Amino acid sequence: MKQKTMGETIAACRKERGMTQLELAREMGVTDKAVSKWERNLSCPDVGSIPHLAEVLQISVEELMQSGPAPARAGGAVQEKVVLICRCVALAMGVAVAVLSALNGLDAGSGLSMLGIGLAALALSALPSGE
């Protein structure tokens, strides 16, 4: 049996109680947009409000907290792979320059080019995700 996310749990309990998102929002002192985001797993309730939310939904804090994590977004997985690839390229360039220099098989221009590629890849991996 699939474990529900916290958002799915909140939505199901709210509906079981015959509450609208607006009614739950008023009980919680937030906007209906906040409740909508909770239910769509775009955000989570403030940790300090969890006990009150559980009380309003007439469930235990444990039931609310035993919800599973929200499914990972496909874009996030791709982005993680791109960051990993960039870091690997940076590491490979650094190792290649070190080894080739030790073997006297690298001229200064080529070494600088390889280090530049490695630094560019490392900088790319450090850019903010934009999420």
Per-residue pLDDT tens digits for 61-86: 988 888 655 555 556 677 788 888 88
Per-residue pLDDT tens digits for 16-52: 999 999 999 999 999 999 999 999 999 889 889 999 9
Q: Do residues 67 and 5 touch, judged by C-beta distance below 8 A?
A: yes
Alpha-carbon distance values, 39 to 1, 22, 76, 123, 124 (Å):
20, 13, 20, 36, 34
Q: Show the domain range for 93.
A: 74-125
Among 23, 47, 65, identify where a domain stops.
65
Contacts of residue 21, defined as CB under 8 A and 6 or more positions apart, other chains included, come to 14, 32, 35, 36, 39
**Exposed, middle or buried by CB within 10 Å (0-12, 13-18, 19+), for 12?**
middle
Same domain assignment for residues 81 and 115: yes
Neighbours of 91 (CB within 10 A): 13
Please state whether the predicted TM-score (pTM) of the whole model is above 0.85.
no
Same domain assignment for residues 85 and 57: no
Domain of residue 57, CATH code? 1.10.260.40
